Amino acid sequence: MLFERNFLGILIFLVDRWWGNLLPKIAPFLYDEGGPIVMVQIENEYGSYGDDKAYLRHLVTVARRHLGDDVILYTTDGGTRETLEKGTIRGDTVFSAVDFSTGDDPRPIFKLQKEYNAPGKSPPLSAEFYTGRLTHWGENIENTGAHFTAAALDRILSLKGSAVLYMAHGGTNFGFYNGANTGADEFDYKPDLTSMIMMHQLENLVMWTMQSSKYSLRGVVKRHSAASIPSVPSNNEKKGYSMIQLQKTESLFDLIDKIDPIGVVESENPTSMESVGQMFGFLLYTSAYAAKGPRRQFVHTKLEHDRAQVFISCPSEDNGGRPTYVENMGRINYGSHLFDQKGILSPVYLDGNILKSWKMVAIPFQNLNEVLDINPHNQ
């Protein structure tokens, strides 16, 4: 409990500092000020992994302090009683929106949503209407059919509901900011693709309208809208680019020779990526050991996040080194396993014996032309 209180205190401090910078920049663009921002979301699917009403009320207080009392604040949670009970505040303090899988029957979910909003203040809203799904490494690319998606949207709008397209337009995550999920437990790790492939509708809008308007998202919106909707913009010109020849500029092991010794972190046991001041990329672990002839030796560890590659360097009859590169393949960004440390998180065994005296070097891969800059410290 002490850890949880300390962690919450740190979280609140960081949220207050971030919102103190962000929200004043948003305030001039609120709807009441003539801007395009109609609502402001204070939490997303919090009921899937938390249940702290004091925390939610604090977010409301901070948002009101910077944005005033007139802006509509809202939360989004999965369309179940458990997630709504945990993730929102009953009444009219905040508006409780829901999300659910595309194709689910929206009627019982919107009926449940009303229980968590003030009477007469619960317009049905699917705050994440998935036009596709993210894809994990090793899976086939998700490709939700146009007919299926349009029919699901039609059911929502037929109930006088609203939906936020997720995603409306696409892009990519940069570097290692791709994210990940888990299955049954934290060991069922599922890293996302770097690219945000979610069947982006803004990009595919023209393609979709070539089909029967009955099945296009635009056709569905037009049929349920009393106002006229804008015409479809002309298709932008597509260009073909020639082949790009990649050239090898550096070997991963060559980087070791360029590292300033002052950037090496030394510890009796391996430490996490976060403890050396790094959030993404690779972390290099090295430990010396005494070779025992030509026989095979077995190395293992119980817990590493997320993928470790073990190499033997400078082998000889007397000694050797065992560098290990551990890659952060994407941080878990949903569910009960958000505390997702990276690196070697348990002792490393060589033939049943624990390896000691480790050196750690951060390889963030932010810019290979930059000199690695890490504050050295011993642990």
Q: Where in the sequence numbering do the catalytic residues fall? A: 45, 128
Q: What's 13-62 look like in SS3? A: HHHHHHHHHHHHHHHHHEHHHCCCECEEEEEECHHHCCCCHHHHHHHHHH
Alpha-carbon 97 to chain mean position: 20
* Beta pairing, strands 95-99 & 72-78: parallel
Q: Compute φ and ψ for 125, nearest 5 degrees.
A: -140, 120
CA distances from 214 to 7, 18, 164, 218, 220 (A): 51, 45, 20, 9, 7
CA distance 142 to 132: 7
CA distance 360 to 348: 14
CA distance 201 to 219: 13
Q: What's the number of CA atoms in the CB half-sphere (13 Å) around residue 353? A: 8
Residue found under tokens 């990276």: 342
CA triplet 120, 126, 131: central angle to 5 degrees? Answer: 160
Q: What's the number of CA atoms in the CB half-sphere (13 Å) around residue 327? A: 12
CA distance 182 to 334: 8
CA distance 30 to 203: 27
CA distance 179 to 163: 24
Residues 6+ apart with CB under 8 A from 290: 318, 319, 320
